[in-house]
Amino acid sequence: MPDLIMEPTPAAQWQRLVQEAAGHAHQELDETLESYLVLLMIRFTENPETGHRIMALDYLRGLRAAPRAQAVAMRDVGDHCLLFSGLFSQRARRRRVSVGYFVDLGRSAYQQVADRQAGGSLSDLFGALAHGFIGLSDVLRAMRELGGAPGLSAMEALELWQDQGSQQARQVFEGLTDATPQRGPDTRQ
């Protein structure tokens, strides 16, 4: 476990942790995505009551909302799915859904926000979040592992690598099994 280095502010502390986790996960985050993760973690620690939501219902409600409310609702779905897929994958296990479910739903929610913006920086940001979702999830998962929390099981890692392309999940699988996974045929439509 790494040495605990205290930073002068919570934002600086989260930034340090995000940077360490990105290095551990072999993910290079640009400044925008790194900042988004830091702000997400700050927002989450101020309101940790996210575990009792049903993301698919929130997604459908968000699609039906008025345009301004829709962007906020879809951003929230994307954010919660990112947290579930990265930090709280054990909740997916308890709910008997795959981590890939949260990845797909979150990626789609962020893409909805990007598509509904009239171009510009918000469209670019949410497009980058959708495109880089699995890498961001890998960084959050690495945060847990840096803290000594249990990671993915071999089956979860294999599924996440095959279905979502998570390089961190592939490394976990190889470390747990001494196997070199091969990508099978893509059976998704």
pLDDT tens-digit map of 168-184: 777 777 778 877 766 65
pLDDT band at residue 131 using 50, 70 and 90 as cut-offs:
very high
> pLDDT tens-digit profile of 23-38?
988 899 999 999 999 9
**1 confidence band (pLDDT: 50, 70, 90):** very low
Quick one: pLDDT at residue 36?
95
Dump pLDDT digits (tens) for 2-14: 555 566 788 899 8
Asked if pLDDT for residue 18 goes beyond 70, the answer is yes
- Say how far apart CA 158 and CA 171 lie, in whole Å: 10
User: What single letter denotes the amino acid at residue 55?
Assistant: M
Residue 107 located in a structural domain: yes
What confidence score (pLDDT) does residue 127 get? 95
Question: Which of the pair, 155 or 58, is modelled with greater confidence?
Answer: 58
Q: Is the pLDDT of residue 133 over 90?
A: yes
Averaged pLDDT for residues 50-66: 81
What domain range includes position 146?
Answer: 10-150
For the segment 94-100, the average pLDDT, to the nearest whole number, is 81
3 within some domain = no
The verdict on residue 170 lying in a domain is no
Domain-located, residue 175: no
Question: Is residue 184 one of the residues assigned to a domain?
Answer: no
Torsion region of 42: left, alpha or beta (phi above 0 gives left; psi -120 to 50 gives alpha) = alpha
3-state helix, strand, coil in the chain (%, to 5): 70, 0, 30
- Residue of 104 and 155 predicted with greater confidence: 104
In a domain, 28, yes or no: yes
- Percent of the chain exceeding pLDDT 90 equals 34
Domains: count for the chain? 1
Is position 32 within any domain? yes
**Per-residue confidence band for 48, with pLDDT thresholds at 50, 70 and 90:** low
Structural domain contains residue 188: no
